[in-house]
Amino acid sequence: MLSLVFVTGSAPSKWIRRYQEATGDSVEAIDAADPWAVLIDAPSSPPTVALLRLPDPRLDAASEDFHMVRLYEEAPGVAVPKDSVYAEVGEQVAESDLADEYVNLPFSHRPDVDALRKALQVVAANVGVAYGPLPLLKHLSKKQVVPLEVAGPSVAPTPIALVWRKDDDCDAIQDFVGITKGRSVRSSRANAAQKGRKTQKTQKSHKKQEKGKAKRPRGRGRRRGRN
């Protein structure tokens, strides 16, 4: 069994389905506004992986203890009222076109989900706009709000990454990572094993080099004969 903590607004269902079909194992899927907080408190059994948004300074500070694989990027978005001219056009909007709009929540790669929900309620009342990763806006928006892709200097794509403890690394996690990268279960394990063999070879090579560099004791040389 594998535990997957995924950030609200992401959609890992296709990976979960492929993993279960390929391995026959089950996946405990947990929707979390802050998957990092769940990951660091999770027990080692079952092994836990987290799908989260970057950048996250907490992960940066603990990078020596965790593996991370970047998977894709979420487009930046803006939520506008359903009756607005932006919603009627229904296309990507420039940030400069929204300069006169009241901003209920500025753009952030990792917005507070509760704060974003409240901001969207204000947008639904036909007051201002709210920014955030587009998939998250689509997930949280109600009928009176229309999420659109936005472009501008203050917004950027949000990286999505898979993270897990190095101590928890196992076949189940490697299988799931491989599926998220479009590989088969068998090739994922082979790649992981190959990396392990390369590491062992590198370590042995370093040891040989260190032995070779060891200084040999100097001999006294041949004594000159007396005349």
pTM over cut 0.85: no
pLDDT mean over 63-69: 97
Q: Is the per-residue pLDDT at 209 higher than 60?
A: no
Q: How far apart are the C-alpha atoms of 9 and 120, rounded to whole Å?
A: 15
Q: Which amino acid is at 1?
A: M
What is residue 95's predicted lDDT score, i.e. its pLDDT?
A: 96
| Residue 159, H or E segment | strand 158-165
Secondary structure, 3-state, 161-225: EEEEEHHHCCHHHHHHHHHHCCCCHHHHHHHHHHHHHHHHHHHHHHHHHHHHHCCCCCCCCCCCC
Q: How far apart are the C-alpha atoms of 217 and 192, rounded to whole Å?
A: 43
pLDDT digits 0-9 by tens, 94-152: 999 999 999 999 999 999 999 999 999 999 999 999 999 999 999 999 999 999 999 99
pLDDT class of 199 with cuts at 50, 70, 90 = very low
Q: Which amino acid is at 161?
A: A
| Residue 112, CA atoms < 13 Å, CB-side half-sphere | 7
Q: Is the per-residue pLDDT at 225 higher than 50?
A: no
Estimate the share of the chain in helix, then strand, then coil, as percent rounded to the nearest 5.
40, 25, 30
pLDDT mean over 12-32: 96
Quote the percentage of the chain above a pLDDT of 70.
81
pLDDT mean over 42-53: 93
